Structures are given as structure tokens and as C-alpha cells.
Amino acid sequence: MKAIVPFKVVNVKSRLSTLLTPEERSELARLMLRDITSTLAAAGVDVELLTTQPFEWDGATVIVSEKELNPALNDYLLANDNPVMIVMADIPLITEKNIRDMLASPADLVICPGRGGGTNVQLIRRPDKYHVDYYGASFVDHRRIAEENGLTIEVFDSFNVSSDIDEAGDLIELYIHGKGDAARYLRSITVLDDSKGRVRVVKEESNLRAVRIPGKMTG
């Protein structure tokens, strides 16, 4: 089995910019990708990365396409006769067991929802009878495409796989549940704050700013 992981090389994870600097976002994105590709490899899956510009990654073949995500992935499906997985690069909680459980399913399409209507992993056994349509409520679109093509579907039920780290509010899942390098890095640069009802991941500096007294700063 092989998996393709789309990865944005520049201005990565821009929606985390409310909390993290560009350097931190870049480092976190690479560590998440490392956690995911290592986990795929441990489960015996060959990893390919799909990027829009040249990039090197230890242990993976890099496929460069200047096309948008959907046409680039659909080109990839057209060129493949064998089953493939499409795995998002921002699901660092995914485990080797998750991948093995998906591989054990006999369904033509094994699809794992992301939050908010998204699709985080698809195992496509019949790439000749399927195409992808990411963005928006892609889970609904993917289910419909599979049904229209007469494919059997298994919805894979996993908190780990459904937890995509996209916005600052998502970091709490990685902070609390993560076991890999991305989680360790996140815990080294942020702290948990449960002072305002919902628990959040914050920068220590933000807390300090909140209690600083302006008049004292120049004194």
C-alpha cells in the first residue's frame, strides 16, 4: 500500500498565526509531517509527498505539481491502478493501529472524517472509479462520489484521525493527547490555560503581557 500526503512547503499552517510565529508554525508542521510519515512507514505503507515546489524529505518520494489540490490528487489517482491512501499532513495523533485497522477493512472506500465536515484520511481501493473533491463539506461530497460509483464505504470512527490541527483552538488536542515529536515541541513553547472556561493552549508571554502594568515597564 502507498499513501500520498499533500504538504504545503511555504507559509504553512497560516491559520495558526494567531498564536505561533512563522518559524514555530514551520517547525510544528514539519514535526507533524515527520510523526505522520514515520507512523505510516511503521505500518508498512510507502509514503509519497505532494508539494507545489521542490522539497526533500527523508523516507518519502516527493511529487511536485503546480496544480491545485483536487486536480493534482485526481491526476495521481488516474496514474494509479492499485489502492492508495490520501492522508492529510495535520493529523499528528494518528497511530500505527489506526492505519492497520483501516488497511484491514474490505470496503472500496475507507473514509475518516475530519472536524467540521472535512475528510482527513481516505483509503481508495478503486482509484479508477473515484475522484476527490476537498474543501467545504468534503466528507459529504466524498460519500456521494463513492455512492454514485457503486463503491462500498466504511466510515472509520477515530478521534485521533479526526483531530486535524488547523486553528489555534485545535492545538489543545495535540497538547493533551499527542505522543510524538510535534506534541513535545508544542508543549515546549506553550502552556495550558483553563482560566476562561474552555481550556486553551496559550503562549506564556501572552499571560505575562496580560498582567504587565504599563507604568512599570519604563521604570
| Contact footprint for a copy of itself (CB under 8 A) | 95, 98, 112-113, 115-117, 136-137, 139-140, 155, 157-162, 169, 172-173, 176-177, 192, 194, 198-199
Shortest Å distance, C-beta 214 to a copy of itself: 31
Q: Quick check: 2 and 46 in contact, CB under 8 A?
A: yes
**What is the closest distance, in whole angstroms, from the C-beta atom of residue 119 to a copy of itself in the complex?**
11
CB 23 to a copy of itself: min, Å: 25
Q: Which is nearer to a copy of itself, 46 or 167 (CB)?
A: 167
79 or 140: CB nearest a copy of itself: 140
* CB 208 to a copy of itself: min, Å: 21
Q: Which is nearer to a copy of itself, 83 or 169 (CB)?
A: 169
In whole angstroms, how far apart are CA 214 and each of 47, 202, 208, 209? 52, 21, 12, 10
